[in-house]
Copies of this chain bind each other. A is one copy, B any other.
Amino acid sequence: MRFASDNRAGVCPEVLDALVDEAGRYGAAYGEDDTTARLGDLLAEVFDHEVWAYPVLTGTAANSLALASLCDPWGGVLCSDVAHVLVDECGAPEFYGGGLRLVPLVSPDGRIDPLAAAEAIDRSGEHDVHNTPLQALSLTNLSEMGSAYRATETAALCHLAHDRGLSVHLDGARLANAVVGTGEPLAELTWRAGVDVVSFGGTKNGAASAEAVVLFDDRLAEQLERRRKRAGQLLSKMRLVSVQLVAQLSNGVWLRHAAHANEMAARLANALAAVEGIDVVGHPDGNELFVSVAPERAAAWRDAGAEFYDSPSGGRRQIRLVTSWSTSPEEVDRFTELANDAQLGAIS
């Protein structure tokens, strides 16, 4: 019952096969290879737009490179108060960005409220040289709370940001899950909505370690090349990263794995929603599910071998359950049985 994170899963067979194949070859270094070129073509295809793509190793690096390229060292990035860039990266955006500032907006379900965003941006512009001017908006889709932004929501946020001179970054560590969850095309959720830079995630969707910063024009291309190298994110054997994303983007593998993960989460949500004493929290639009239970119940689950993260929430525990390409229906069903256990229920 492994629901701690999709980043604990192994590597999916399609990626592993491709990796082994590429690993057996001699090839050009530092991304000057054919596989990396092929990745660019595939990304252009799935995004339905010309792209400038920069594979890197981690989501932290992808996000931080993107933000550093969109924001001056003296600028601010508006983000959700549960954004990964804010709470899980040990200040990487500040490091890559030469001391830029992340400005959090309270966002209970992980999505940024347009009115609050507009107000925060307007306020930041009032105090000339002394304040921190907001220069970028960072969204996460699928959000950290499991909810997905629809294309129209993303477009509205991009519109208000651009209107006020901000660029828009999308943290897409689980973007495949959002595409599947919303049923909306990748293009609609990104550049057509106005997103300027995407962190396109592969690791949580079955890769070993592969993300890409994706641009839709070449304005930031040169600085991204430099920043990536300077951050130690340009691998000599970059082709071994690129090939992972190539494998995912070929034949719809990325969407198939995301669909499976989402399905497992929905199966879990449906089952748990029917259990007394378990409250499903928020919008489980993808492969992340949050439920609120009594502390004793959380403890009992853990004792029974379930893996998950949890945090205090008004006398109860808020539990995060994440499924992945490798989650099996049996694993979900075993957890459902545990949740339905009469004795454990009695605890709460």
Q: Which residues of A contact B (CB under 8 A)?
A: 2, 4-5, 7-11, 16, 19-20, 22-30, 56-58, 60-62, 64, 72-74, 87-92, 94-102, 127, 129-132, 203-204, 208-209, 223, 225-227, 229-237, 240-241, 326
Inter-chain contact A91/B237, CB cutoff 8 Å: no
Inter-chain contact A98/B73, CB cutoff 8 Å: yes
Q: Considering the chains assembled together, what is the distance between the CA atoms of A8 and B130 in angstroms?
A: 16
Nearest CB of chain B from residue A248's CB, rounded to whole Å: 14
Inter-chain contact A130/B240, CB cutoff 8 Å: no
Inter-chain contact A131/B99, CB cutoff 8 Å: no
User: Which of the residues B2, B28, B96, B129 comes within 8 Å of A8, measured between beta carbons?
Assistant: B28
Inter-chain contact A90/B129, CB cutoff 8 Å: yes
Given contacts A19-B208, A209-B241, 10 further A-B contacts (CB under 8 A): A7-B236, A61-B233, A73-B230, A87-B131, A90-B230, A91-B132, A95-B98, A129-B226, A203-B237, A204-B236
List chain B residues, Cβ under 8 A from A96. Answer: 232
Nearest CB of chain B from residue A335's CB, rounded to whole Å: 15
**Within the oligomer, what is the number of copies of this chain?**
4
- Known contacts: A16-B20, A74-B230, A94-B100. The answer to whether A88 contacts B235 by CB under 8 A is no
List chain B residues, Cβ under 8 A from A203. Answer: 235-237
Q: What are 5 A-B contacts with C-beta separation under 8 Å? A: A5-B29, A7-B237, A88-B131, A92-B232, A95-B231
* Majority-rule SS of A interface residues: loop
Inter-chain contact B229/A129, CB cutoff 8 Å: yes
Q: Considering the chains assembled together, what is the distance between the CA atoms of A25 and B102 in angstroms?
A: 36
Nearest CB of chain B from residue A269's CB, rounded to whole Å: 22
List chain B residues, Cβ under 8 A from A29. Answer: 4-5, 7-8
User: Which of the residues B91, B237, B326 comes within 8 Å of A230, measured between beta carbons?
Assistant: B91
Among residues of B, the one whose C-beta sits closest to the C-beta of A60 is B232
Inter-chain contact B209/A89, CB cutoff 8 Å: no
Inter-chain contact B236/A8, CB cutoff 8 Å: yes
Among residues of B, the one whose C-beta sits closest to the C-beta of A56 is B232
User: Which 7 A-B residue pairings sit nearest by Cβ, starting from the closest?
Assistant: A61-B232, A7-B236, A94-B99, A11-B23, A60-B232, A90-B229, A74-B226
- Known contacts: A28-B8, A99-B99, A209-B237. The answer to whether A90 contacts B131 by CB under 8 A is yes
Q: Considering the chains assembled together, what is the distance between the CA atoms of A129 and B24 in angstroms?
A: 26
Q: Considering the chains assembled together, what is the distance between the CA atoms of A173 and B54 in angstroms?
A: 24
List chain B residues, Cβ under 8 A from A326. Answer: 26
- Known contacts: A7-B236, A99-B95. The answer to whether A130 contacts B229 by CB under 8 A is yes
Q: Considering the chains assembled together, what is the distance between the CA atoms of A169 and B147 in angstroms?
A: 40
Q: Considering the chains assembled together, what is the distance between the CA atoms of A129 and B56 in angstroms?
A: 15
Inter-chain contact A236/B58, CB cutoff 8 Å: yes
List chain B residues, Cβ under 8 A from A23. Answer: 10-11, 16, 19, 208
List chain B residues, Cβ under 8 A from A25. Answer: 10
- Known contacts: A94-B99, A101-B94. The answer to whether A89 contacts B230 by CB under 8 A is yes
